[in-house]
Amino acid sequence: MKYSGLYFIPNPTTNLDTSLNTVSTLVQSIETNFQNASREAQWTLSYRVFRDTTPRDHTAPNDADGKPKPFAHTYQHILHHSVYGQNRTYLYTQPPGDQGKGKGIVASIPSRQQDAYATLVRYQQAALWTPRHILSVQAGTAYTSGLCTIYIGELRATREGPQSGGVSSPAVVVCISTGVGAADTVEDSQDSGYQSVENGADGDGDEGLDVEYAQSVIRDCWSKITEGRDLGRSEIREVMMALEDVNSVQERDAAVRMWCEVLRMRG
């Protein structure tokens, strides 16, 4: 199965050209430092997130300092990622306090129903859910080199409704995947839809070591890509797939949660 790490490179200017320059820098680094790297097919991503509305009768409890605690929100993510299924869109309901660690439900629907579903939530369930932001990667770049497959893309943010305007780019994302454990057992990406709550696969020490090794491979790859490259002054965020998710045949759940956790925070 595949294990992945995701790197988020913020773009303080949100200017699209700045993100495109960052992508160009990373691509040049890969083609220079990974001489055996082979170009893979382009990949795409579309994402939107909704946050539940605070109940009108909600009374916030106070913290230890006597200040009201912020309301703990639930998030509903809608993610299409061509790497995990050309014709599937993934729905992830993220409960309060869960940072992509595997407690939320992941389901899938046909991608042709994605816009209709988003419209339903936005307009027919407006009392329950508030739209947050919409992001996309239109023509991501991918390479395979040795143990790793590297996906690079500039995020594009768009708005709907009367405030819609030009396209901005809040960040560049780099996802590095490598094999871990036994051979892949996930069904073909054109699945008929599935739903899962907290994976129950039993792990052992060997699988834990596999994950640690995979993380080491990913970090070494990232270090080689960025060595001597100027990626700006912004703090780069690293997120690895949740460990408890790795032993499941539905490792796509873990990947979906990882992507949604990062994209939810950055709109």
Domain membership flag for residue 63: no
Give the number of other Cβ atoms within 10 Å of residue 81's Cβ: 23
Name residue 91's amino acid. Answer: L
Mean local confidence (pLDDT), 177-202: 53
Can you give the pLDDT at residue 186? 45
Can you list the positions of beta strands (E) in the chain? Answer: 2-10, 38-39, 43-52, 75-81, 88-94, 105-110, 129-145, 148-154, 156-158, 171-179, 195-196, 237-240
Can you give the pTM of this predicted structure? 0.84
Q: Please report which confidence band the pLDDT of residue 187 belongs to, taking 50, 70 and 90 as the band edges.
A: very low
Domain membership flag for residue 58: no
The span from the CA of 105 to the CA of 251, in Å, is 13
Domain membership flag for residue 242: yes
The span from the CA of 257 to the CA of 264, in Å, is 10
Can you give the pLDDT at residue 30? 96
Say how far residue 143 (Cα) sits from the centre of its chain: 18
The number of distinct structural domains making up the chain is 1
For the stretch 93-136, pLDDT in tens is 998 876 656 678 899 999 999 999 999 999 999 999 999 999 99
Any idea what the CATH number is for the domain that residue 46 is in? 2.40.320.10
The least confident of 67-71, 188-192, 231-235 is 188-192
- Domain residues for the domain of 217 are 2-53+73-265
Domain membership flag for residue 68: no
Phi, psi of 32 (to 5 degrees): -85, -45
Domain membership flag for residue 136: yes
Phi, psi of 208 (to 5 degrees): -60, -40
Q: At what angle do helices 16-33 and 205-226 cross, to 10 degrees?
A: 110
Mean local confidence (pLDDT), 4-12: 95
Among the listed residues 75, 68, 50, the one whose alpha carbon sits nearest the alpha carbon of residue 134: 50
Can you give the pLDDT at residue 111? 96
Domain membership flag for residue 65: no
Domain membership flag for residue 66: no
